[in-house]
Amino acid sequence: MRILFIYIVLFISILNASTFVDDFNKKQKEIIDKLYNGGNQEKLIEEKTELYNKFTNELKEKSYGISNRIKNDKLNNKIFITENKIKINSSRGNDLAVFRDKIKLKLLKLKKSQNLFYIKLAKILKNGKDENKKIESRLKYLNNINLDNYTSKINKIKLNKNKGKIEKETIDVYKKLEYELNREKDYLSYLNLKSASLKNKDLLSFLNLATILDEINSNEKFYKINKFLNIINLDVGKISLLFFMLFSFSLSVFLINFILKRKLNIYLEKLKIKNFDFEKNIKLISTPSKVFIIFFGIDFSVEILMYPNELNRLITNIFYFIHLFTITWLIIGFIDFFLLLYFEKKFNKKEINRTELINFLIKVIKFIAILIALLIYLNYLEVDITTIIASLGVTSLAVALAAKDTLSNLFGSINILLDNIFSQGDWIAFNDIEGTVVEIGMRSTTIRTFDNSFITVPNATLANSEIKNWNKRKIGRRIKTKIGVSYDSSKKDLSNAVNEIKEMLLNHPGIATSKTQFNSTQRSLNLVKKEDLYGVKKTLLVYFDEFNSSSLDILIYCFTKSIDWEEWLSVKQDVYYKIWEILEKNNLQIAFPTQTIELKKNNK
């Protein structure tokens, strides 16, 4: 029963293969006849192109060679009979019959060579080899077939009004020859133009493994086994190659990760970077590379199982998308890994600034990489990208309105970065918010406040706010205070104290004076004072300032060299201690609010 089933399957496949060529010839003739008889050209050309595409795919997929060997046996019989007829009619002097049979012989030989060519073409298309040379060679052969020897004689026969049976048969067979020649030329011209898109693009063909499969299966030892395996579209070649490929890809995952880790470890040792979490960061590269190899192996396995048939277009599209996605992921992984190395090296040497701009550029690079991958995929799907771009002009208004807030935040972030309003790590204050900038994103900025809360602020809000940036200072954090001494102080002591405080501040290592040097390699094209641009303050003022209600006030106004808050507090504390010593040295008492109440006695 099983053997009977196998024979039925084989018979159906041979029958199917033998009929699809005849169907193609029949439909092609119908379309060409309609074209020459004034049919709708555009519609008929579309039908013809669709027919040619279908026939080419069937050539790839079906067992065309078996059926055509059967057909060529029949053609060989006809050729033999026709050659004998020519000999007999020639000996009898039937010149017209000889002429008819010579045209018929030409037609039969053309059909035979056509069948043999289709067998070769089917194999070429199946194995994914370059078919251009074969097609060009066949076209050259067809163009070299000269019908001029027959044309003049046929025209004379056509002029004869009293045509007999042989004349009519001669004209009819000539038309068939002429049609068969032009029909094949038309199809081959189409193939020649479309050859790049008709090439088999599967991995088996690309790596020439299809030939290995055929070689394994051609072994006589596997013939009986393959008869049973073919029922489920399997054979010894497929199973052998499948196991070999699964082993190879499993080994590849291990080897690639081993080599990758080893090479990068050697590179890290040369850079001498400390505190770099290699095991964690290497996953940025190793994870996408593993995923890529695994899906590449799955794709290969499916193609082996489906051979000689091509994968379904939907499955091919899915695999192409996965491969493109993993390659893009791998590229982004490499960018992240090597930028982490670069930053770690720079942070160790304290050579890095404007980190927020670098972060923004990294995000832009990643976005561009994803966009390029998307465009490549759309191009693979044969989507007209220019049409999509053109249609954006029509829909841009709707998109702009829908994404108004997103766009305003994006432009806000660009404005912050280009104007250098603040950087990551800066201490800023605006509205009721004050804290340190954690990160400047494409949509929002995150701030860590001094009470340790975490705030996310849209960039559009920041770009339109009045922002105090305490870090936009190179030299100068202000100390401003008034010290009141009591009214019983002498003028001389007060004058000495003022002079000594000023002298102390001028010589203090933490206080900025006119002698404090400021050097900046940065240049600005703006016509502004450099000290104001970079926040350099050196003003130092110590004066007896005011007769207050309960004290004589000394104004002290100066700037520390450091802008760091803790250092500023330390310097300020030291200055206050020294002022206190100077006051004590000059017999001056620090005043405190006092009020004298005088009571007058009433004489009455």
In Å, how far are 46, 103, 234, 390, 601 from 57, measured between CA atoms? Answer: 17, 32, 21, 34, 128
pLDDT of residue 418: 66
Q: What is the pLDDT of residues 147-162, one digit of tens each?
A: 877 888 888 888 877 7
Q: Which of 436, 441, 447, 434 is nearest to 459 (CA)?
A: 441
| Average pLDDT of the chain, as a whole number | 76
The pair of structure tokens assigned to 404 is 């108004």
Q: Which of 262, 304, 311 is nearest to 285 (CA)?
A: 262
First to last CA, the chain: 149
- Give 402's pLDDT tier (boundaries 50, 70, 90): low
CA-to-CA distance for 427 and 107, rounded, in angstroms? 92
Give me the long-range contacts of 424-427 (CB less than 8 A, separation at least 24): 424/355, 424/356, 424/359, 425/355, 425/471, 426/469, 426/470, 426/471, 426/472, 427/469, 427/470, 427/471
Output the CA torsion 29→32→33→39 (10° steps): 140
State which fold the 477-516+528-585 domain adopts.
Alpha-Beta Plaits (3.30.70)
Give, as one character, the DSSP assignment of residue 420.
Answer: T
* pLDDT above 60 for 8: no
Indicate the domain borders of the chain: 2-199, 224-352, 412-469, 477-516+528-585
CA-to-CA distance for 474 and 49, rounded, in angstroms? 74
Do the Cβ atoms of 191 and 131 come closer than 8 Å?
yes
Give the chain's length: 604
* pLDDT above 90 for 495: yes
Comparing 446 with 339, the larger pLDDT belongs to 446
Mean pLDDT to the nearest integer, 338-344: 72
pLDDT of residue 327: 87
Q: Which of 52, 172, 184 is nearest to 113 (CA)?
A: 184
Query: What amino acid occupies position 132?
Result: N
Please state the pTM of the whole predicted model: 0.44
* pLDDT above 70 for 528: no
Comparing 588 with 273, the larger pLDDT belongs to 588
The pair of structure tokens assigned to 327 is 């390659």
Instruction: Quickly list H helices, 307-426.
Output: 313-349, 355-380, 385-402, 404-419
* pLDDT above 80 for 105: yes
* pLDDT above 70 for 574: yes
* pLDDT above 90 for 577: yes
Do the Cβ atoms of 44 and 35 come closer than 8 Å?
yes
CA-to-CA distance for 412 and 442, rounded, in angstroms? 9
- Give 4's pLDDT tier (boundaries 50, 70, 90): very low
In Å, how far are 341, 345, 351, 490 from 274, measured between CA atoms? Answer: 10, 9, 16, 64
Comparing 272 with 173, the larger pLDDT belongs to 173
* Beta carbons within 8 Å of 282's beta carbon, 6+ residues apart: 260, 261, 264, 337
Comparing 301 with 80, the larger pLDDT belongs to 80
Do the Cβ atoms of 456 and 433 come closer than 8 Å?
no
In Å, how far are 217, 280, 293, 409, 521 from 248, measured between CA atoms? Answer: 21, 27, 10, 50, 57
- Give 229's pLDDT tier (boundaries 50, 70, 90): confident
Give me the long-range contacts of 542-548 (CB less than 8 A, separation at least 24): 542/498, 542/501, 542/502, 542/505, 543/498, 544/494, 544/495, 544/498, 545/482, 546/482, 548/484, 548/591
- Give 504's pLDDT tier (boundaries 50, 70, 90): very high
Do the Cβ atoms of 217 and 307 come closer than 8 Å?
no
pLDDT of residue 15: 39
Q: What is the pLDDT of residues 26-40, one digit of tens each?
A: 777 777 777 777 777
State which fold the 412-469 domain adopts.
SH3 type barrels. (2.30.30)
* pLDDT above 90 for 559: yes
The pair of structure tokens assigned to 53 is 């595409």
pLDDT over 90 for what percent of the chain? 10
- Give 502's pLDDT tier (boundaries 50, 70, 90): very high
